[in-house]
Amino acid sequence: MITGYKLNGVILRQISILVFFCLSLSFLPVKAQRMLIGFKGGANFTQASVTEHFSAFQYTQVPEEDQTQKEYASIFKNSAGTQFGIVASFEFNNVFGLSFEPSYAQYRFGYNNQYKWESSEVLEETFEVAYDHQHKINYIELPLFLKFSAGSGKIAPYVQAGGFINIMHNASKSTSAEIIDEAGGSMEELTGDNNDVGIDNLLNKYYYGLAGSAGIAFNLPYVRIGLDVSYRQGFSNITDENARYTDVRSSNISFDVLDDIQLNNMQFSLVLHFPVNFSMGATGQGKKNTRYVVPYDMRRFKDEGKRGRRRN
């Protein structure tokens, strides 16, 4: 497990390398350098990948069939989360660029498990409890991508590859129960109350991994509209191993304990980019040397307007 001190050192080294890399690229003799700033938002789906299972329940004698095992929902069967944030893209030419996309995102995932008691004297007397556990984790996401675009026309597909570091803001868990009681001689089905409790103390503060995305951009005169699909592959354990059993609620099977989990997250976003016009890479002074960001934009209309005035 990476401690907070070591992880901070790793983050600082990575940021230093990225800053140096960006500064080095800014001095390259590229044809055009342009910057876009904008907003993004959308929905996401999370898949929990378990590396090791844990339980608040222990058998005195292991049964032939263990029904207490947790069954995690697949990625699109989990409830959708949301994300929103800003986008800052620096394009060194019409193909290659960098994109920094800090966001606030909610990841949601869940699992089911159940417990069953059977009378050793009367087989028909049983007591079953089925639990549905739902988790919400709010992260501040800090992803950085290398961007590769195909063309600079009105429609430009692109792909991105990079990494991310997430900082947990807060987290909560809710549990609902369905109870089937046949021990009293008649079947009775009950639904337990939902609850929503904080679990910040049971999770690691930082979460990191690799990320990639693909999308299509529509270049309009004053804005670039993008449809983006991204995937984040987590590499670190979200659960604080040292805090797993420290919460007194962990002794209650309805609360349970967290497994060692890595999260994989797929995001669907609408992105709006707005051009920031400046003259990096241009020579001389004056408006005619300004580098416009959207390739298919105002320069053409300005040139046509000048030609029209000359004819008059």
Q: Give domain limits for the chain.
A: 4-311
pLDDT at 253: 63
Q: Read off the tokens for 271.
A: 């992105």
Handedness of CA 121, 124, 125, 131 (dihedral sign): positive
Kindly report the CATH number that applies to the domain delimited by 4-311. Answer: 2.40.160.20
pLDDT digits (tens, 9 = 90+) for 86-108: 999 988 888 899 999 999 999 99
Cβ(297)–Cβ(276) below 8 Å:
no
The end-to-end CA distance of the chain, in Å, is 74
| pLDDT for residue 12 | 52
Per-residue pLDDT of 3-21, as tens digits, reads: 444 555 555 555 555 555 5
Whole-structure pTM over 0.85, yes or no?
Answer: no
Question: Which structure tokens are listed for 62?
Answer: 């292991």
Question: pLDDT digits over 203-226, tens only?
Answer: 999 999 999 999 999 988 889 999
Neighbours of 149 (CB within 10 A): 19
| Residues 217 and 293 sit within 8 Å (Cβ to Cβ) | no
Mean pLDDT of the 293-303 span: 47
Lookup result for tokens 């001389």: 284
In DSSP terms, 117 is beta-bridged to 127
